[in-house]
């Protein structure tokens, strides 16, 4: 079990609040750690996992939300995603339920591909240079 299992992708409405942000930010943190430590990436996301409702009312919240959106884009762009994978929202302003779902679908899709990648690795001593498997 990981934070990826708690992502929400079936909204039909509602509000996007600090609990959503914290859940997604924890997923950012989980994926960044996994990709950097196990897959050779060097992601350097700006992550905040302690959002409060008051934070969203602060001056600078718009900039922080853009950082949040950029994190989604950075993670999505680190791999070549399967055709049909949700796109990163172009803005966090007036976020729709679909776009909120898309954000979390992207993170789920990245986790699936990471697991696929490691399932296909060969190990030292198994194959010879130029060998086709």
Partner 1 sequence: MLDRVPTKPNRYAVYDDAHNFIRYEYHERADEPTQVGDALNKANLLPDTVATALGLTGNPQVKDALEKIKTLVDGNTTLANSKAQIVTGSYTGTGTYGVSSPVNLVFPFVPKVVFMSSIDTNGGIISPATGGNTSELSSFVMDCGSLNNNYSTFSQINNNVQMFVKKSSDKKTISFYSDTARKQCNESSYRYCYTAIG
- Report if residue 41 touches partner 1, rule: CB under 8 A: yes
Round to whole Å and give the CA distance between 50 and 24. Answer: 11
Question: With CB under 8 A, what is the number of residues at the site for partner 1?
Answer: 22
Question: Is residue 37 exposed (0-12), middle (13-18) or buried (19+ Cβ within 10 Å)?
Answer: exposed
Among 5, 94, 126, 130, binds partner 1 (CB under 8 A): 126
28, with CB counted inside 10 A (0-12, 13-18, 19+), is: buried
Q: Which stretch binds partner 1 (CB under 8 A): 12-20, 47-55, 63-71, 116-124?
A: 116-124
* Pick 64 or 81: Cβ nearer partner 1: 81
Q: Residues 84 to 113: which contact partner 1 by CB under 8 A? A: 113
User: Which part of the chain contacts partner 1 (CB under 8 A), choosing from 12-20, 31-39, 46-54, 88-96?
Assistant: 31-39
Taking the least distance from each CB to partner 1, the nearer of 59 and 132 is: 132
Cβ-based nearer residue to partner 1, 12 or 124: 124
Nearer to partner 1, 94 or 128 (CB): 128
Q: What residues from 61 to 80 belong to the interface with partner 1 (CB under 8 A)?
A: 79-80
Q: What is the 3-state secondary structure (H, E, C) of 33-79?
A: HHHHHHCCCCCCCCCCCCCCHHHHCCCCHHHHHHHHHHHHHHHHHHC
């Amino acid at each position: 079990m990981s934070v990826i299992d708690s992502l929400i992708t079936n909204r039909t409405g509602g509000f996007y609040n600090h609990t959503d942000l914290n859940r997604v930010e924890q997923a950012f943190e989980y994926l960044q750690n996994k990709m950097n430590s196990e897959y050779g990436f060097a992601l350097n996301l700006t992550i905040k996992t302690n959002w409060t409702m008051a934070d969203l009312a602060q001056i600078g919240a718009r900039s922080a939300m853009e950082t949040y959106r950029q994190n989604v884009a950075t993670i999505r762009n680190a791999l070549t995603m399967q055709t049909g994978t949700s796109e990163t929202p172009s803005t966090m302003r007036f976020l729709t339920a679909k776009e909120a779902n898309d954000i979390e679908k992207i993170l789920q899709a990245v986790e699936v591909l990471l697991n696929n990648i490691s399932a296909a690795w060969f190990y030292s001593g198994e194959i010879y240079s130029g060998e086709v498997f």
